[in-house]
Amino acid sequence: MRIRGVVLMMLAFVGISAAQAPAPSKAKAKAPSAPASRNPATLAQLMKGILFPSANVVFFAQSDNPNDVPPAKDPALAINPLASSYGKWEAVENASLAIVEAANLLTVPGRKCSNGLPVPVTNADWPKLVQGLRDAGMAAYKAAQSKNQDKILDAADVMTTACANCHDKYREKPTPADRCK
């Protein structure tokens, strides 16, 4: 009798669950739309959103000790990475690694420059320039791990050179329409 009662309760539960489930629609379900682009950020947006702010954290450490940056009133909401919950030298390490990782985004085919031209990922010099940025980020990361400002000075010099190499070739043009050429 007990088993029969349990079975009846289970059948009743399954029946209630099935009754509450929405009936399958006879109309075709609309398929989710694909994102407009696999890489919606332009090259300039990657520069302004990741590379420029991250490089500034590294450059800050050239003249000021990140350990001397006081935490923000609410470090979890800090807009200054050096004063955030992950601030001080850790912020320099994280910014350096963000540069390394962002370099990968510079090699994704299909990304556009702000003027609409494709990022020159197929140009022979592009991979070398991107590798220079990766190397600069890794140099800054190792220097940040050491917490040694003299080493940060050297790493910042490597970063300045890597940025200038690419900017001289692709960014510093008389008109923005000529960038990425």
pLDDT in tens, 23-47: 545 555 555 555 556 889 999 999 9
Asked whether the beta carbons of 117 and 181 are under 8 A apart, the reply is yes
Query: 2 in a domain, yes or no?
Result: no
Which residues have CB under 8 Å from 95's CB, separation 6+? Answer: 53, 54, 55, 57, 58, 81, 140
- The CATH number for 73's domain is 1.20.120
Classify 34 as helix, strand or coil.
Answer: coil
Query: 77 in a domain, yes or no?
Result: yes
Query: 97 in a domain, yes or no?
Result: yes
pLDDT of residue 131: 98
Write out the residue range of the structural domain in which residue 106 sits: 43-174
Query: 15 in a domain, yes or no?
Result: no
pLDDT of residue 140: 98
Query: 111 in a domain, yes or no?
Result: yes
Rounded Cα distance, 139 and 150, in Å: 12
Count of domains for the chain? 1
Asked whether the beta carbons of 104 and 135 are under 8 A apart, the reply is no
Query: 24 in a domain, yes or no?
Result: no
Which residues of the chain register pLDDT less than 50? 1-22, 24
Query: 180 in a domain, yes or no?
Result: no
Query: If you average pLDDT over every residue of the chain, what do you get?
Result: 87
Rounded Cα distance, 154 and 157, in Å: 5
pLDDT of residue 37: 65
pLDDT of residue 33: 56
Query: 110 in a domain, yes or no?
Result: yes
